[in-house]
Chain A
Amino acid sequence: AQSVTQPDIHITVSEGASLELRCNYSYGATPYLFWYVQSPGQGLQLLLKYFSGDTLVQGIKGFEAEFKRSQSSFNLRKPSVHWSDAAEYFCAVVPFGNEKLTFGTGTRLTIIP
């Protein structure tokens, strides 16, 4: 079945440490790929997107993501997290030729001092 998977439900990272959030998809053709962030009580904000081209994508707030076709992955990274990065992170896909943005189950990021 077509799906987008975020294997980690909850990740805890120390402030200043590096971060990687995992996202895998299972679609026949490469979909459009997105990462969104949701702060508590807020809506969703787009961090970055991948449509085609360079597989390393830069986003806002110092985030980047790398598309790896061979692994069907689109992992989100940040070299040094800040306390304000604590939030829920969602990977999302729009399958090629489809209208529907489908979300992963989300990863909750906790930052410890």
Chain B
Amino acid sequence: DTAVSQTPKYLVTQMGNDKSIKCEQNLGHDTMYWYKQDSKKFLKIMFSYNNKELIINETVPNRFSPKSPDKAHLNLHINSLELGDSAVYFCASVDRDRNSPLHFGNGTRLTVT
């Protein structure tokens, strides 16, 4: 029944590793996002995809690469993890044409040691 689901919920890894976070929505929305929430709770948009096409790419390092195999999925792959990547990453989705509000997943807490 979960509308926007992210896996894993927690991710602890060492610097230099490569990791992925997965996101799936079953709401039939056409647009999906990744947001990063830092230790001060500030939420910043990273990427947005509409029907598998990248439409927003904020100034995010190239080590972050989103991939959308279909409009229900938006995964985030991070190469060469750094300490500063530690944060909570939220996936969200929306039906852009209906101006509906974003629906958020419960977040993935990434800790880089």
A residues sitting closer than 8 Å to B (CB atoms) are 32, 34, 36, 38, 42-46, 49, 51, 88, 90, 99-103, 105-106, 108
Cα distance A49–B104 when bound, in Å? 15
B interface bracket (residues with beta carbon within 8 Å of A): 20 to 34
* Chain B residues whose CB sits within 8 angstroms of the CB of A43 once the complex forms: 4, 90, 104-107
Closest 4 CB pairs of A and B: A103-B43, A43-B106, A43-B104, A44-B104
For the complex, would chain B's binding face be called helix, strand, loop or mixed by DSSP majority? strand
The reply to whether A99 and B41 contact each other, CB–CB distance below 8 Å, is no
Cα distance A99–B45 when bound, in Å? 11
B residues sitting closer than 8 Å to A (CB atoms) are 4, 31, 33, 40-45, 48, 55-56, 90, 92, 96, 99, 101-107
The reply to whether A32 and B99 contact each other, CB–CB distance below 8 Å, is yes
The smallest beta-carbon distance between A11 and chain B, in angstroms, is 14
The reply to whether A90 and B43 contact each other, CB–CB distance below 8 Å, is yes
Cα distance A106–B101 when bound, in Å? 18
Option from B4, B42, B102 in Cβ contact (under 8 Å) with A101: B102
